């Protein structure tokens, strides 16, 4: 999907500003508004007003333009709720998961909310329902599994710089709870040697404090000693063709998967599994849930509450406070 997104972003976003003024001129003259013109204004709004992340902009542009193509670029005023229901039905025929289909529909709801906010007549976004999806169990590693996983680069990677980098990836993902995108964005100048705390700009451009464990600090400093370059990314590619560039999400996922397999861990292990493990271990050690929320960068406490169900000891501890 990323390749498609990039194509859409290049072809559609380049012309967005050119058509933006015509959209408002059309509205001023009380003529009907094409969906494509309104979409250009919406993307411009995400970029310049909402200051949305590049990933959010790419995804929303992709999902909305897929709808424009499906509806054959209709007038906004002509789109009815039954059309959205048929669109959802046809997306399901493509064997997309309910979760993926929800992304398409959520983008449309946000788009229509923008239109109503700017006095453009359209269907009510509140009438567009999102499919309910059963919450999947949190996948996390046990203490024994994470202990073995963290030793894998030392045991299976001979090149000292490669070994040091991969150790840092595992230790930071587990020991700080960073999202993989946040790890990718880390810059070398953000880190002060032996400073346990530093700030990052996370999801939705929110500033939050992140903390390194002592062992992660040791691994990171060792890795930087091996680095003899001045490239900006903290975690870099060591491949000949892309040396010094930031690692991609897929590459980091492959690194985590490789060491999980070497550790003999049978369950699926991703960078997000390490983030889940970080949160789970904090709660198992009686960290209060609001602190965990802040450390993970969750906007809502509801998101953090999923971790309270992974171990009955946490709930028992809370209940025992009444005694």
The residues that are catalytic are 179, 203, 272, 275, 298, 307
Q: How many helices (H) and strands (E) does the chain have?
A: 15, 2
104-131 per-residue burial string, b: 16 or more CB within 10 A, e: under 16: bbebbbbbbbbbeeeebebbebeebeee
Q: Whose CA is closest to 46, among 114, 103, 121, 112?
A: 114
130 Cβ partners below 8 Å, 6+ apart? 102, 105, 106, 109
The answer for 30, left when phi > 0, alpha when psi is -120 to 50, beta otherwise, is: left
Residues 6+ apart with CB under 8 A from 179: 202, 203, 271, 272, 275, 297
Q: By C-alpha distance, which of 138, 155, 136 is closest to 147?
A: 155
Round to whole Å and give the CA distance between 167 and 152. 8
Alpha-carbon span 281 to 262, nearest angstrom: 23
Distance CA 252, CA 180 (A): 8
Taking the C-alpha atoms of residue 312 and residue 318, their distance in angstroms, rounded to an integer, is 10
The closest of 163, 264, 277, 126 to 213, measured between CA atoms, is: 277
Q: Measuring CA to CA, which residue among 78, 71, 63, 184 is closest to residue 121? A: 78
- In terms of Cα–Cα distance, which of 20, 63, 27, 26 is closest to 45? 20
């Amino acid at each position: 999907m990323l390749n498609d997104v990039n194509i859409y972003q290049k072809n559609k976003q380049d012309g967005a500003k050119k058509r933006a003024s015509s959209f408002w001129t059309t509205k001023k003259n009380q003529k009907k508004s094409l969906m494509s013109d309104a979409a250009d204004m919406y993307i411009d709004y995400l970029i310049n007003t909402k200051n949305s992340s590049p990933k959010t902009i790419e995804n929303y542009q992709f999902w909305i333009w897929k709808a424009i193509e499906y509806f054959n670029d209709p007038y906004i005023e002509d789109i009815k709720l039954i059309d959205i229901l048929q669109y959802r039905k046809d997306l399901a025929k493509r064997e997309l998961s309910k979760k993926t289909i929800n992304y398409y529909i959520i983008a449309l709801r946000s788009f229509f909310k923008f239109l109503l906010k700017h006095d453009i007549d359209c269907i009510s976004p509140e009438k567009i329902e999102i499919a309910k999806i059963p919450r999947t169990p949190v996948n996390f590693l046990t203490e024994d599994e994470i202990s073995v996983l963290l030793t894998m680069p030392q045991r299976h990677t001979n090149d000292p710089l490669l070994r040091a980098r991969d150790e840092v990836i595992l230790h930071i993902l587990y020991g700080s709870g960073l999202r993989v995108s946040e790890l990718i964005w880390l810059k070398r100048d953000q880190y002060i040697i032996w400073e346990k705390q530093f700030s990052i700009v996370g999801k939705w451009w929110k500033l939050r404090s992140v903390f390194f464990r002592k062992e992660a600090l040791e691994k990171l400093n060792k890795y930087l000693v091996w680095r003899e370059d001045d490239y900006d990314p903290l975690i870099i590619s060591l491949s000949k063709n892309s040396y010094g560039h930031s690692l991609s999400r897929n590459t980091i996922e492959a690194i985590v998967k490789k060491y999980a397999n070497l550790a003999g861990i049978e369950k699926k292990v991703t960078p997000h599994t390490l983030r889940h493990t970080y949160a789970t271990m904090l709660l198992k050690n009686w960290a209060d849930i609001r602190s965990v929320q802040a450390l993970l960068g969750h906007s809502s406490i509801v998101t953090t509450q999923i971790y309270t169900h992974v171990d009955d000891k946490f709930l028992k501890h809370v209940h025992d406070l009444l005694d």
